[in-house]
C-alpha cells in the first residue's frame, strides 16, 4: 500500500466519522482530491484506489495532467478547476475540465458557455462566495449570489450545481462551523427563492484542516489535498 493510498483511506475514515457525528449519511459527501503541484503519477496512484474526482488550481498544470492521464485504463477521471479563471484561460478550461468551482463573474461564465465544445457534456458550475469578506480573496459577496446564479442557470452548455467557499482559517471547531454555516444559509436561500429552474445540489466546503466542521455545517463536497498527497 502506497502512502497516498493509505492517506486516502484515512481521509475517507475522517469523512465517515464526521458524517456519523453530524447525523448524516457518508454517501452524501464527496471527496475531491486536490492534486495541484503533484504530478500525474500521484493522481494515478490515488485513482488506483478508486478516487475519481481531482481538483486543480493552476489551469495549465491541470490540463497537462488531464492529457497525460486521458488514455489510462479504467473509469474516466473527473477534473475540477478550483482556482481563479481569467478571460484568457476560459477556452482551456472549457475544453478540458468537467467542473469549474470558482466562477464569480458573469463574463467568465458566458465565455465558458460559448467555448464549451458541443461534443462534451455541459460544464458543471459552482459559484465561489467570499463568505467572510477577505480583501484578497476571489468570490461573490453573499448578497450578489442570487443575481449571478439566476444568470448562469440560463446559459447553454453550463449546469449550475452549487456554491463553493474558502473562508479564512477559524480559531476552533465552533468558529469554523459558524463560517461554513453562513455559506449553507446562502445556498438554502438561493434554492428557496424559486429563481432557478433546478435547485442546486452541491455545497463545496471544507479542506484538510476543517472538513469535520464543513460536514457538520452541510457540505456535500470536501476538497482535500495535504492530507492525501502531503505538504507542498
Residue 176 has a pLDDT of 97
pLDDT beneath 50, residues of the chain? none
CB-CB contact of 67 with 86 (8 Å): no
193-223: pLDDT as tens digits? 999 999 999 999 999 999 999 999 999 999 9
For residue 158, give every residue at least 6 positions away whose Cβ sits within 8 Å of its Cβ, in sequence order, or none: 109, 112, 113, 116, 122, 123, 124, 125, 152
Residue 92 has a pLDDT of 98
CB-CB contact of 99 with 78 (8 Å): yes
Closest CA to 111 of 89, 96, 82: 89
Residue 133 has a pLDDT of 86
Q: Which is it for the CA torsion 25, 177, 104, 154, positive or negative?
A: positive
Residue 23 has a pLDDT of 98
Q: How far apart are CA 80 and CA 62, in angstroms?
A: 9
99-103 and 78-81 as β-strands: parallel, antiparallel, unpaired?
parallel
Residue 137 has a pLDDT of 79
For residue 152, give every residue at least 6 positions away whose Cβ sits within 8 Å of its Cβ, in sequence order, or none: 103, 106, 109, 125, 127, 158, 160
Domains present along the chain, CATH in parentheses: 3-229 (3.20.20.10)
Residue 38 has a pLDDT of 97
The helix or strand, by DSSP H or E, that contains position 66, with its residue range, turns out to be: helix 59-69
What string of DSSP letters covers 156-188? Answer: TTEEEEEEEE-PPPPSSHHHHHHHHHHHHHHHH
- Apex 166 CA angle, 52 and 187, nearest 5: 85
For residue 209, give every residue at least 6 positions away whose Cβ sits within 8 Å of its Cβ, in sequence order, or none: 169
The helix or strand, by DSSP H or E, that contains position 17, with its residue range, turns out to be: helix 3-22
Amino acid at each position: 500500500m502506497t502512502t497516498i493510498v493509505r492517506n486516502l483511506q484515512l481521509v475517507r475514515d475522517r469523512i465517515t466519522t464526521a458524517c456519523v457525528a453530524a447525523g448524516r449519511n457518508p454517501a452524501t459527501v464527496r471527496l475531491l482530491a486536490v492534486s495541484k503541484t503533484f504530478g500525474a503519477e500521484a493522481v494515478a496512484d490515488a485513482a488506483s484506489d478508486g478516487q475519481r474526482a481531482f481538483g486543480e488550481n493552476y489551469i495549465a498544470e491541470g490540463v497537462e495532467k488531464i492529457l497525460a492521464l486521458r488514455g489510462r485504463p479504467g473509469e474516466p477521471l473527473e477534473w475540477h478547476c478550483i482556482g481563479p479563471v481569467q478571460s484568457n484561460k476560459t477556452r482551456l478550461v472549457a475544453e478540458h475540465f468537467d467542473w469549474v468551482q470558482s466562477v464569480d463573474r458573469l463574463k467568465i461564465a458566458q465565455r465558458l458557455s460559448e467555448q464549451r465544445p458541443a461534443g462534451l457534456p455541459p460544464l458543471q458550475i459552482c459559484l465561489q462566495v467570499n463568505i467572510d469578506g477577505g480583501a484578497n480573496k476571489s468570490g461573490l459577496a453573499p448578497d450578489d449570489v442570487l443575481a449571478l446564479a439566476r444568470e448562469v442557470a440560463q446559459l447553454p452548455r453550463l449546469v449550475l450545481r452549487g456554491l463553493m467557499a474558502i473562508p479564512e482559517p477559524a480559531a476552533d471547531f465552533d468558529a469554523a462551523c459558524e463560517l461554513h454555516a453562513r455559506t449553507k444559509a446562502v445556498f438554502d436561500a438561493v434554492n428557496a427563492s424559486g429563481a432557478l429552474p433546478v435547485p442546486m445540489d452541491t455545497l463545496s466546503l471544507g479542506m484538510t484542516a476543517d472538513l469535520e466542521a464543513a460536514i457538520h455545517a452541510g457540505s456535500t463536497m470536501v476538497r482535500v489535498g495535504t492530507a492525501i498527497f502531503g505538504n507542498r
